[in-house]
Amino acid sequence: MDKAAPKVSIITICRNEKLIEETCRSVAAQIFDDFEWLVIDGASTDGTLEVLERYRQYMSFFVSEPDGGIYEAMNKGIREARGAYLLFLNGGDSLADPLVLARFFSFETDNPCLTPLKPLLQADIIWGEVVSRETGFLPRLRLPVNHRRLGLVYFKISGLPHSAVFIKKSLFEKIGLYDASFKISGDYEWFMRAILRWRASYEYVPLVISIYNFEGLSSKADDVSEQIHAAERSRAYCKYALNPLIVVSALINALKAGILSWLLLLARLFLPSAFLRRLKHKDNHWAVKLYRSSY
């Protein structure tokens, strides 16, 4: 009989990665054990394989062979994964601390401001935060996403932090894998496809999930990489921003958000403060529902 499917599959792709041991150490240190770890190496030649060999006991799948790029490697991992959710932790990136997965799957908080954000862990896409290994801060300026709808405006300016996103495997089966024709921005295109075209459900968790290696392929600041990055993002964005159905949906969502903002303002002006405090109570399901409706 097959072993029960784990809650999450961590997929690591790498090739000649000097910080691969940090990645391996962070996965091996997790106290949460309901996960599997898949490593797809692109035929490394610099000693990466020797490091990976020391952590083979923690891996449920390992392969080292030439591939056609990072998204082809990720797709290979998706096909092999058995977890309900997939987390892409590339070589050089690492999980924030040994308690990350345990905190994620049993999110608790005494902060009433964060209570409405307690994850239901049912959405197609659930994401948290990521910090830069080099600076300890967010690797790039992003819009606040804990109360924003992910639409055309958001994706024009920003994107989801790939190494801090849990994605249902069933969503890949429904809408397809990463487009391997992209060298750097395949995840950006996939998130737009999932959320704007297929209306995938999403949820934010106020938790730092991973530490991002700012020296990775998609973040190098050399002119060639910047040009590829800009061109691919433009190609992906135009693909969906020029879709009439998506544009109409975005306008409707903006109208709904505007109406909701006015209703909240009127509520603060005219409803008794004691009643408003009750709405904010952590056990008030209507308050949670109202809060989530503004996503």
Note whether 168 and 124 are within 8 A (CB): yes
CATH fold group of domain 8-240: Spore Coat Polysaccharide Biosynthesis Protein SpsA; Chain A (3.90.550)
Q: What single letter denotes the amino acid at residue 2?
A: D
> In tens digits, what is the pLDDT along the chain, a chain of 295 residues?
357 889 999 999 999 999 999 999 999 999 999 999 999 999 999 999 999 999 999 999 999 999 999 999 999 999 999 999 999 999 999 999 999 999 998 876 666 666 656 667 889 999 999 998 777 666 655 555 544 578 888 898 889 999 999 999 999 999 999 999 999 999 999 999 999 999 999 988 888 999 998 765 554 456 678 889 899 999 999 999 988 888 888 888 778 777 877 887 787 777 777 766 665 554 445 544 544 444 3
Question: Which of 185, 192, 219, 186 lies closest to 75, judged by CA?
Answer: 186
Report field, pTM of the whole predicted structure over 0.85: no
Distant-in-sequence, close-in-space partners of 246: CB < 8 Å, separation ≥ 6: 152, 196, 197, 240
3-state secondary structure 245-283: HHHHHHHHHHHHHHHHHHHHHHHHHHCCHHHHHHHCCCC
Note whether 284 and 278 are within 8 A (CB): yes
